[in-house]
């Protein structure tokens, strides 16, 4: 106990309890958000709002103050823990930055990235400068610092969120996706360096005095050194470490050690520790010797443990109901969206891209996510902004992240290819079919499919069987896809059954079907049936995958196998030809 003499037994107990509750709630709601095809950060912040003064503090203030005390040893320990969490998160964000992508995409990416900074900044700065009284309830200590912060916060995109959206839309490996990612890299690199300078101008609140000019020069010098000499040293050191140290532990230890040292350096300069973590992430992530597995290990370690704790802790700091100002939220959201979409879209258009693609780039770059939230929290802690402005920035970040993907699809008039897993639930999965006759199997799966609906079981069986009589739905590799269109349906329904012995579906190769998918779709399904059937057929052209799927013992095992073999295909035009 000598090392923890500053904390009592009560403090240690409730610190561990608070971290456990925070992490558990954040992970649960983060997974719920992912299941709803939303960024996990949405659920993680919601967890903090539920546990913080907004909900739990209002319903059970004494319990909330015991679990998450606003001051004292537990609060201090939690602050230190979240500082490490945000530092490691910015390491991961920096590792996402691929500097070479900017040069590969040429002038278009550079134009989009630079314009995505200049235009929003030019729009936001005068608004903040002339309308400070309307934007803030209390005058800022330094109007210039507030105006610079506001303009910068509304210019930085969220590269990790953008990459996730493009991956979800299967646009990441397209030319359009490459331009968006490269533009976001350029945008973030410039924006974070500007913000590093602004951090040096802020009052840290710790009593330390840093001369602004000295801090700015040291910030720019550190950034230049890390992105040149630092990159070179990381690239030279990684092969030696991988050859002489245990793997992956040796490399992980090297990266995390230098992350903390780099963070300490920028904190000593007079700017925040996260700036050093971000720059080191850029330097080490750009090395060609960085293995993908190492990168993935760090990302998983941080994204599923440390990042949720940090984002959940945001909800502990502010009452989101008391400080929610609808008009302020609309102003911040409108200024942020117009500036970013206009700046990036016009730059892409002037670079020669077609109109639809240019505006899709604008909306793609408009995703803010975690970055604005982090910047807002730092400004709130240093009294540059007040609570209503912070809430407005959080809402703006979440709304732009949630809307970016749908706006890209709307502008391109394309739709996300349907996956059969989008419509499968555990209640519609049969791990061991009882029947061995084709009609009886259709009856068994139809019973699962109509559960919880107004559909008539017998009518569904008749429709599926009549379709089966027209042409067998048995395919190769032990696969069968009996299906039918049902007039009263509003969305597709899917049921899956696994057979240990196999069922005769008169397949092409004569093999009995062990994987049977029952697919029901509306009459007017806008091509949904074709896409779902095609998705199933393409996946199980792989005989090994079909065998592994048929051998699954439960729904979780089956779904995990399917998630790990998601097809990597690009968007297709919508059936209307748009």
Superfamily of domain 420-573: Mannitol-specific EII; Chain A (3.40.930.10)
At 140 the pLDDT is: 82
Q: Does domain 9-412 have CATH number 3.10.20.740?
A: no
Sorted by where each begins, the domain ranges of the chain are 9-412, 420-573
Q: Could you give the percent of the chain with pLDDT greater than 90?
A: 23
* Nearest partner of 119 among 163, 155, 173, judged by Cα: 155
Beta partners for residue 339, in sequence order: none
The H or E element spanning position 267 is helix 249-269
In this structure, are residues 128 and 150 in contact, taking their beta carbons and an 8 Å threshold?
A: yes
Q: Which tens digit of pLDDT belongs to each residue from 44-68?
A: 888 989 998 999 988 998 888 888 8
For 482, the 3-state DSSP assignment is coil
pLDDT tens, position by position, 270-306: 777 777 888 898 888 878 777 767 777 888 888 888 8
Span 460-475, pLDDT tens digits = 999 999 878 767 788 8
CA distance 373 to 380: 10
Helix (H) or strand (E) segment spanning residue 237: helix 231-244
User: Mean pLDDT for the chain?
Assistant: 83
Half-sphere exposure of 474 (CA within 13 A, CB side): 17
Measured between alpha carbons, how far apart are the two ends of the chain, in Å? 68
| 9-412 shares its CATH topology with 420-573 | no
* pLDDT tens, position by position, 334-388: 999 999 999 999 998 898 877 888 898 999 899 886 667 878 888 888 888 999 9
Sign of torsion, CA 347 348 354 356? negative
Tokens matching residue 60: 């059970």
With vertex at residue 83, the alpha carbon angle to CA 77 and CA 85, rounded to the nearest 5 degrees, is: 105
């Amino acid at each position: 106990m000598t090392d923890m003499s500053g904390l009592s037994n009560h403090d240690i107990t409730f610190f561990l309890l608070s971290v456990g509750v925070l992490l558990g709630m954040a992970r649960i709601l983060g997974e719920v958000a992912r299941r709803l095809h939303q960024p996990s950060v949405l659920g993680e912040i919601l967890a903090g709002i539920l546990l913080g003064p907004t909900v739990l503090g209002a319903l059970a203030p004494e319990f909330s103050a015991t679990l998450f005390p606003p001051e004292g040893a537990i609060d201090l320990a939690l602050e230190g823990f979240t500082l490490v969490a945000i530092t490691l998160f910015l390491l991961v964000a920096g590792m996402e930055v691929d500097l070479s992508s900017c040069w590969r995409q040429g002038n278009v990416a550079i134009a989009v990235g630079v314009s995505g900074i200049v235009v929003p900044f030019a729009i936001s700065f005068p608004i903040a400068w002339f309308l400070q009284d309307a934007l803030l309830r209390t005058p800022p200590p330094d109007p210039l610092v507030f105006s610079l912060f506001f303009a910068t916060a509304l210019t930085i995109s969220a590269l990790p969120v953008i990459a996730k959206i493009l991956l979800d839309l299967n646009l990441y490996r397209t030319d359009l996706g490459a331009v968006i990612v490269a533009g976001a890299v350029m945008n973030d690199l410039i924006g974070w360096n500007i913000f590093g300078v602004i951090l040096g101008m802020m009052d840290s609140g710790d009593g330390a005095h840093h001369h602004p000019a000295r801090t700015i020069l040291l910030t720019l010098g550190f950034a230049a050194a890390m992105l040149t000499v630092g990159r070179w040293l990381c690239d030279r050191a990684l092969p030696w470490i991988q050859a002489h140290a245990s793997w992956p532990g040796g490399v992980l230890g090297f990266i995390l050690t230098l992350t903390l040292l780099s963070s300490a350096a920028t904190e000593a300069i007079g700017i925040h520790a996260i700036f050093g973590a971000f720059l080191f992430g850029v330097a080490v992530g750009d090395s060609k010797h960085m293995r993908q597995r190492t990168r993935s290990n760090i990302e998983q370690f941080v994204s599923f443990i440390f990042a949720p704790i940090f984002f959940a802790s945001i909800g502990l700091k502010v009452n989101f109901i008391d400080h929610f100002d609808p008009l302020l939220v609309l102003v911040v959201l409108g200024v942020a969206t117009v500036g970013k979409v206009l700046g990036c879209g016009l730059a892409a258009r002037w670079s020669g891209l077609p109109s639809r693609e240019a505006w899709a780039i604008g909306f793609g770059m408009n995703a803010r996510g975690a970055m604005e939230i982090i910047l807002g929290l730092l400004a709130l802690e240093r009294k540059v902004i007040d609570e209503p402005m912070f809430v407005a920035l959080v809402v703006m970040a979440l709304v732009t992240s949630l809307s970016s993907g749908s706006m890209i699809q709307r502008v391109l008039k394309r739709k996300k290819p349907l996956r059969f897993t989008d419509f499968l639930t555990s209640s519609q999965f049969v791990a061991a079919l009882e029947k061995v006759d084709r009609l009886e199997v259709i009856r068994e799966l139809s019973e699962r499919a109509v559960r919880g609906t107004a559909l008539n079981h017998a009518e569904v069986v008749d429709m599926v069987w009549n379709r089966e009589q027209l042409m067998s739905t048995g395919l190769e590799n032990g696969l069968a896809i009996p299906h039918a269109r049902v007039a009263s349906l509003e969305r597709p329904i899917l049921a899956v059954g696994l057979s240990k012995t196999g069922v005769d579906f008169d397949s092409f190769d004569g093999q009995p079907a062990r994987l049977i998918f029952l697919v029901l779709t509306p009459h007017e399904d806008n091509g949904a049936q074709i896409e779902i059937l095609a998705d199933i057929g393409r996946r199980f052209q792989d005989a090994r995958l079909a065998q592994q799927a048929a051998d699954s013992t439960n729904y979780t095992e089956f779904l995990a196998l399917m998630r790990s073999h998601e097809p990597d295909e690009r968007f297709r035009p919508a059936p209307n030809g748009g």
